[in-house]
């Protein structure tokens, strides 16, 4: 009996990773009815990471009322994994740029306060280990708002609490963590990060990511100086140097805050997810591995989960095929990184909307046809 490991990402704005995996399994079974299909939805630390980890661990998605980046009360989701100890927090769920209208975005004052509230929610529920997805934030405050929400005191030279937002860090003089939630002392924090930007400078959080969040040239200069001041005060009061650590600039400097205050470890998002779902164990004795994402293109080879899965499969010499919504420029580069063949689910002229509305059926068909091609030589 053949063993087929099915490990796709979700297709953005269409189906979750588990829904894609289930559709792929249908296609496999039409060719090999007796095959053992192992469904392992994956992600690369960005969008879909929470869902993939929850689905793979038999966990659940929970909801908490928190403040968004501009202080409005919202319902934000977080993941409670099946092991009962690990929580998944995606920054974008609380302080995401996509949550704000174009006229609501103000990177100078946007805060990660709601992220801290999610931490507290998970701690109150008994969770001690955290996986943090840091993409898509509207903020540039280095995680200062998160620390304020969790009881830390960030004050200016007069002892007054600084204003929320990245620009407030320009007045920061002292950090007092005596009131910071003590439960974080024994917590483990791993940050899913696929960027290596330092906190400040021409490759730092403000210069690289600030303009994407609406920052002007003048804003970038002021925000960069404010983060530099933040790093200096962290070094003075916490005795930790976060300024030059690769990845410190992730998500508006939140990487620096997580490392400086919680001794967080930064890892590639795909590796975190694949280890968490115990992929290597599932790959043992597999005859075929199927990966997938919305589009295969040149960017797929850069820390994306389909290639990460394929490279692990190749350690066992297992063939890997990929199913995608579409094939973009440079998609053939994936062949140099472990994916032996790729197939598009679009099998006739159709609009993007039509394809997205019929994704499940089209994925099953594409997977079936790929497996039939393989079966010719098996």
Write the pLDDT tens digit of every residue in 261-320.
999 999 888 899 999 889 999 999 999 999 999 889 988 887 789 999 999 999 999 999
User: Would you place residue 196 in the very low, low, confident or very high pLDDT band (cuts 50, 70, 90)?
Assistant: confident
Q: How many Cα neighbours within 13 Å face the side chain of 228?
A: 12
Structural domain ending residue among the three candidates 269, 296, 319: 269
Note whether 245 and 134 are same-domain residues: yes
Reply yes or no on whether the pLDDT at 378 is more than 60. Answer: no
What average pLDDT does this structure show over 121-126?
Answer: 98
Q: Would residue 274 count as lying in a domain?
A: no
Reply yes or no on whether the pLDDT at 354 is more than 70. Answer: no
Of 48-52, 181-185, 334-338, 371-375, minimum mean pLDDT range: 48-52
Write the pLDDT tens digit of every residue in 150-182.
999 999 999 999 999 999 999 999 999 999 999
Q: Phi and psi dihedrals of 269, rounded to 5? A: -55, -40
DSSP symbol at 16? -
Considering only CA atoms, give the Rg of the chain: 22
User: Would you place residue 355 in the very low, low, confident or very high pLDDT band (cuts 50, 70, 90)?
Assistant: low
DSSP string covering 39-99: E-----SSTTHHHHHHHHHT-EEEEEEEE-TTS-EEEEEEEE-TTSSEEEEEHHHHHBGGG
Alpha helices in the chain (DSSP H): 17-31, 49-57, 91-95, 113-124, 144-149, 205-209, 217-238, 250-262, 269-276, 279-283, 305-314, 352-357, 359-375
Instruction: For the chain, give the mean pLDDT.
Output: 93
CATH number at residue 361: 3.40.50.10350
Task: Note if the pTM is more than 0.85.
Answer: no
What average pLDDT does this structure show over 13-33?
Answer: 94
Note whether 94 and 15 are same-domain residues: no
CATH number at residue 139: 3.90.1510.10
Structural domain ending residue among the three candidates 225, 245, 269: 269
User: Would you place residue 335 in the very low, low, confident or very high pLDDT band (cuts 50, 70, 90)?
Assistant: very high
Of 4-13, 159-168, 181-190, minimum mean pLDDT range: 4-13
What average pLDDT does this structure show over 109-118?
Answer: 98
Work out the percent of the chain whose per-residue pLDDT is above 90.
Answer: 77
Note whether 18 and 147 are same-domain residues: no
Query: In total, how many domains does the chain have?
Result: 2
Q: Would residue 184 count as lying in a domain?
A: yes
Of 21-25, 282-286, 374-378, minimum mean pLDDT range: 374-378
> Which range of residues forms the domain containing residue 156?
49-269
Report the pLDDT value the prediction gives residue 262, as an integer from 0 to 100: 97
- Rounded CA-CA distance 55/172 in Å is 42
């Amino acid at each position: 009996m053949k063993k087929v490991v099915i490990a796709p990402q979700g297709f953005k704005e269409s189906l979750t990773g588990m829904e894609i995996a289930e559709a792929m399994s249908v296609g496999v079974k039409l060719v090999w009815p007796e095959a053992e299909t192992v469904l392992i939805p994956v992600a690369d630390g960005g969008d879909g990471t929470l869902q993939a980890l929850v689905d793979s661990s038999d966990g659940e998605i929970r909801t908490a009322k928190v403040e968004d980046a501009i202080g409005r009360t919202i319902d934000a989701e977080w993941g409670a994994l099946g092991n009962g100890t690990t929580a998944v927090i995606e920054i974008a769920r609380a302080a995401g740029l996509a949550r704000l209208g174009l006229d609501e975005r103000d990177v100078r004052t946007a805060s990660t306060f709601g992220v801290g509230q999610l931490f507290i929610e998970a701690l109150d529920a008994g969770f001690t280990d955290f996986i943090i997805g840091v993409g898509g934030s509207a903020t540039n405050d280095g995680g200062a708002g998160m620390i304020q929400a969790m009881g830390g005191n960030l004050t200016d030279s007069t002892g007054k609490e600084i204003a929320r937002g990245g620009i407030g860090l320009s007045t920061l003089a002292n950090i007092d963590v005596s009131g910071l939630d003590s439960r974080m002392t024994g917590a483990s924090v791993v940050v899913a990060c696929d960027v290596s930007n330092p906190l400040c400078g021409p490759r730092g959080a403000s210069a690289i990511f600030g303009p994407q969040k609406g920052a002007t040239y003048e804003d970038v200069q002021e925000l960069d100086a404010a983060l530099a001041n933040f790093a200096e005060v962290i070094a003075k009061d916490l005795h930790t140097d976060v300024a030059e650590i690769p990845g410190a600039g992730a998500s508006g400097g939140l990487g620096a805050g997580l490392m400086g205050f919680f001794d967080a470890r930064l890892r590639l998002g795909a590796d975190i997810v694949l280890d968490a779902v115990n992929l290597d164990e599932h790959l043992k004795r597999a005859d075929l591995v199927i990966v997938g994402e919305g589009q295969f293109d040149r960017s797929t080879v850069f820390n994306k989960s389909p290639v990460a899965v394929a490279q692990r499969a190749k350690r066992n010499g297992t063939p890997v095929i990929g199913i995608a919504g579409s094939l973009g420029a440079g998609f053939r580069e994936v062949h140099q990184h472990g994916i032996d063949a790729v197939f598009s689910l679009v099998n006739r002229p159709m609009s993007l909307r039509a394809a997205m509305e019929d994704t499940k059926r089209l994925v099953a068909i594409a997977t079936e046809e790929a497996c039939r091609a393989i079966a010719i030589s098996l």
